[in-house]
């Protein structure tokens, strides 16, 4: 039973750093050290990175000798099998297919016709054969145990004499300053007490009523002074009557002023009420205009369009590549998840069914003969 040529490629990568597909390119392996994924908690063993170099085109005979030794055939038969395999790969790549080489990876051409390679997660490093990926978990320890396990630095014990000298020197520096500190506290306390007493005296003096002494304090009272006293009393009574008259007039004025103020307040209240009513009417008019505008906006006609699905993919990378291809063709891409697969297509705008048929035929010729119209909207 003959094997596929692709299986020989995987077998050779365990023992060789370069395996060439003549006329197509070569697989190149390089050492990859062990690494840790701190997010997922995984420890990966050392392995090999597999890359594809499309500049390695010369046949080195390694793959032909592997086919001949494994199948016990002639050199020409092995060359014929290899040529057939290379032709199949090139035909598939030109047809925009993704070529899968088991246990090696996938080959495809991007939109710029450059060869791209996605390697599989197979470890070709025979030195670490059998080492799996390890799942690790952090060790939870108490704080006391962590401190005990930590490396303690060398403890330097200072001689007692040096500690005593340092403490003594600090006390000697502080001792001369004690009298000055005490004097400062006394001065500040005396100043605050003086200000408090001075403030109390000033407030009490402000409440005293000045006393007026009469000019004839040392004279004896006489009868001639009585008329003057009567006149002064009479004058005081006249002044009292005048003051009562002035007070009554001022009260009348205050009553008149109060009526005038009440009328002004009523007029002001009426004016404010009118302004509020006018603003309310203006806002209702604005709301009506906005409602009319929104009604005109909602009545916009949606143009005729159809959604054409060209492919369904399970790999997100293929979805992204197809979307980029659709965008480069000036179409609006469309995606939809159905049963674990992603349908990829585009929106096609048209004026009549003839334009839709023409566009649909062009899309089938360019992307996929099995493309179909998923949905369409016609006014």
Residue 189 lies inside a defined structural domain of this protein: no
> At 359, which CATH number?
3.30.70.1070
CA dist 93 and 116 (Å) reads 11
| Dihedral angle, C-alpha 243, 245, 249, 250, nearest 10 ° | 20
Domain limits for position 312: 305-377
Per cent of the chain over pLDDT 90 is 4
Residue 342 lies inside a defined structural domain of this protein: yes
What are the DSSP E strand ranges found in the chain?
Answer: 18-21, 25-32, 35-37, 42-44, 47-53, 99-101, 105-109, 115-119, 134-135, 305-313, 332-338, 341-349, 372-377
Sign of CA dihedral 367, 373, 374, 379: positive
CA distances from 55 to 27, 37, 115, 287, 317 (A): 11, 34, 10, 71, 25
The DSSP code for 137 is -
Helices (H) then strands (E): counts for the chain: 9, 13
CB atoms within 10 A of CB 63: 24
Per-residue pLDDT tens, the chain, 379 aa: give them.
567 888 888 888 888 889 998 888 888 988 889 888 888 888 888 888 889 998 888 888 888 888 888 888 898 888 898 889 989 988 988 888 998 988 888 999 888 888 898 988 888 888 877 788 888 777 766 666 666 665 555 555 555 555 555 666 667 777 788 888 888 888 998 889 888 887 765 555 444 444 444 444 444 444 444 444 444 444 444 554 554 444 444 444 444 445 656 767 777 788 777 777 766 665 555 555 455 555 544 445 678 888 989 888 988 899 899 999 899 888 889 898 888 889 999 988 888 888 888 888 999 888 888 888 888 877 7
Q: Which long-range contacts (CB under 8 A, 24 or more apart) does 70-74 make?
A: 70/3, 70/8, 71/2, 71/3
Residue 216 lies inside a defined structural domain of this protein: no
CA dist 195 and 344 (Å) reads 90
Q: What was the pLDDT predicted at 299?
A: 45
Residue 56 lies inside a defined structural domain of this protein: yes
Distance of CA 57 to the CA centre of its chain: 49
Q: What was the pLDDT predicted at 235?
A: 42
Number of compact structural domains in the chain? 2
Residue 182 lies inside a defined structural domain of this protein: no
């Amino acid at each position: 039973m003959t094997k596929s040529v692709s299986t020989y490629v995987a077998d050779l990568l365990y023992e060789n750093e370069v395996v060439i597909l003549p006329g197509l390119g070569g697989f190149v392996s390089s050492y990859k050290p062990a690494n840790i994924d701190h997010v997922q908690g995984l420890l990966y063993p050392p392995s090999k990175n597999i890359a594809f170099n499309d500049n390695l085109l010369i046949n080195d005979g390694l793959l032909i000798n592997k086919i001949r030794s494994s199948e016990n055939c002639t050199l020409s038969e092995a060359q014929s099998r290899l040529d057939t395999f290379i032709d199949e790969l090139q035909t598939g790549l030109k047809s925009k297919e993704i070529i899968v080489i088991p246990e090696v990876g996938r080959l495809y051409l991007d939109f710029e016709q450059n060869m791209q390679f996605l390697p599989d997660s197979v470890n070709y490093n025979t030195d670490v054969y059998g080492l799996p990926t390890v799942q690790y978990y952090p060790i939870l320890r108490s704080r006391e145990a962590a401190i005990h396990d930590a490396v303690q630095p060398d403890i330097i014990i200072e001689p007692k004499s040096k500690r005593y000298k340092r403490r003594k020197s600090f006390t000697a520096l502080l001792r001369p300053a004690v009298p000055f500190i005490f004097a400062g506290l006394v001065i500040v306390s005396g100043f605050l007490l003086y200000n408090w007493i001075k403030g109390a005296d000033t407030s009490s003096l402000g409440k005293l009523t000045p006393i007026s002494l009469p000019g004839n304090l040392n004279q004896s009272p006489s009868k001639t002074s009585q008329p003057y006293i009567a006149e002064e009393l009479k004058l005081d009574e006249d002044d009292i009557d005048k003051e009562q008259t002035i007070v009554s007039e001022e009260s009348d004025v205050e009553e008149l002023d109060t009526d005038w103020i009440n009328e002004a307040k009523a007029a002001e209240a009426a004016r404010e009420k009118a302004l509020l009513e006018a603003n309310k009417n203006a806002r209702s008019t604005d709301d009506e205009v906005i409602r009319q505008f929104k009604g005109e906006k909602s009545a916009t006609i949606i143009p005729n369009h159809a959604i054409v699905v060209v492919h369904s993919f399970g790999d997100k990378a293929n979805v992204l590549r197809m979307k980029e291809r659709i965008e480069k063709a000036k179409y609006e891409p469309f995606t939809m998840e159905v049963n674990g697969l992603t349908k990829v297509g585009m929106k096609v705008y048209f004026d009549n069914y003839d334009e839709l048929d023409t566009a649909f035929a062009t899309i089938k010729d360019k992307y996929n003969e099995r493309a179909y119209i998923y949905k369409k909207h016609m006014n």
